[in-house]
Amino acid sequence: MKRLLCLIVSLSSCVFAQQGSAVIDDSSLAKYSYDKDLLPASFYKNNRDTLRKKMPANSVAIFFANPVRNRSNDVDFQYHQDPNFYYLTGYIEPDAILLIFKEEQKFDSFQTNEILFVRQRSMEKEIWNGRRLGVNGVKKLLGFENVFMNSSYNDAQFNLCAFDKILVQIPKNDIRDNPNDRGDLYSLVNGFKTDIEKCALNADAFALAQIMAEMREVKQAEELVLMKKAIDMSCMAHIELIKALEPLFTEYQAQAVVEYMFKKYGSEYVGYPSIVGGAENSCVLHYSSNRKQLNNEKLLLVDMGAEYHGYTADITRTLPISGTFSIEEKVLYNVVLAAQSAGIKACLEGNNFWEPHNVAVKIIQSRLLELGIIKDASEYRKYFMHGTSHYLGLDVHDVGLFGKLERGNIITVEPGIYIPEGSDCDKKWWNIGIRIEDDILISAGKPINLSESIPRNTDEIEKMMKEKSFFNEQR
């Protein structure tokens, strides 16, 4: 009797009817993806099981798919799934909601500890925008047992008040209403908000974010395979640019070389907007317009990483546009290189997350003082204003708890020095921006530099820049 009092919803079978799916031939699901190395359904199920173990008693965790981001008018950006949603489902389509229950819940005709609501298939819309999995596809390919059309979510009348804890992740912005679609993200979020307003409990977003950060910061063996692929293809692309870079390149031509190589080796996306900044633009941390004619001057800072099956690399190299570092450029470059090398050595299991940053800062402080660029150690932040490390994974700035480094973490080590024109130092240092960034795997022993195949030493860079690339032959 007590169990019956814990029922969260009264559902009729018609609410969850799989309407519309029978009119489409589901044999086309075999072509839903052409990739043969996607993570198996068992990976995502294991993640849901792990989450369930970390949830408090009598709780529900609710996740929404990412919004569709509009670029302009009737053109949207290419869709990218919310990383947590993807990590738990493998589902890459919008307008979906996932409910994970700590304990088994009894419904009219079944019992379960998870329910997924997804878009229904539509012959007309699939002609325009590509195949959808639909209810049957999610069951077949992603291994869910209880999958229903998103348009039925608001008819389900979930009694969220029966839970002691409601954990939720709601998309932050750009949730647009399609009045002709009862299952769009706008309707799903509004339906949830209506349900939660009936309860005295507040939905807890912080606790869920902490749990997901704890889970995602340690990469599993299957994830490491994909991350290494993303990093390897990024390394090959950076190496090709080192060979191809010519004094009269534009920033966007340098960008094109690297992004071409990403695609050549199978990347679906760039992991973040490509940063390709020459001369004064090398001092802009997240510069991304990439339109400057390089004109054989100063340095080119290239911060680019490929994304592969959701996992991204993040690598930066700084190159002399002329093919040779000037005296000032080499001096500052070697300061950054020394700071990065010390930071990498500090990437040891059990060290505090911030230890690589702390050792890098000490080197940059002391060398800038010696060079007379700063007069007091505290002034280093004028020229090195960001952290040295962040987690890397399904997000380029991936989630984590920033505690002790653990085996299976992948973090960046990326100190930099940026001295824009007009800085309070000798003009010979102006418009020199340098960052060196590698992707480091925390292991049981020494740190593993997953992107070490790209030269970091100035002599090695200059030597490689003398080699020819097939891109030079196309000009």
> At residue 412, does pLDDT exceed 50?
yes
Per-residue pLDDT, averaged over 279-289, amounts to 97
Per-residue pLDDT, averaged over 137-166, amounts to 93
Per-residue pLDDT at 474:
61
pTM of the predicted model as reported, rounded to 2 decimal places? 0.93
pLDDT of 451-470, one tens digit each?
999 999 999 999 999 999 98
Per-residue pLDDT, averaged over 370-393, amounts to 98
The bridge status of strand 306-308 relative to strand 311-312 is antiparallel
Query: Which residues, including other chains, have CB under 8 Å from residue 390's CB and lie 6 or more apart?
Result: 396, 397, 398, 411, 412
Query: Taking each helix axis from N to C terminus, what angle separates 41-54 and 205-216, rounded to the nearest 10 degrees?
Result: 130
Per-residue pLDDT at 9:
45
Per-residue pLDDT at 26:
64
CB 84 within 8 A of CB 212: yes
pLDDT of 310-343, one tens digit each?
999 999 999 999 999 999 999 999 999 999 999 9
**Mean pLDDT of the chain, nearest integer:** 92
Percent above pLDDT 70 for the chain: 93
Domains of the chain: 2-215 (3.40.350.10), 218-473 (3.90.230.10)
Terminal C-alpha separation, the chain: 78
Number of other residues whose CB lies within 10 A of the CB of residue 164: 11
Give the whole-angstrom CA distance, residue 336 versus residue 390.
17
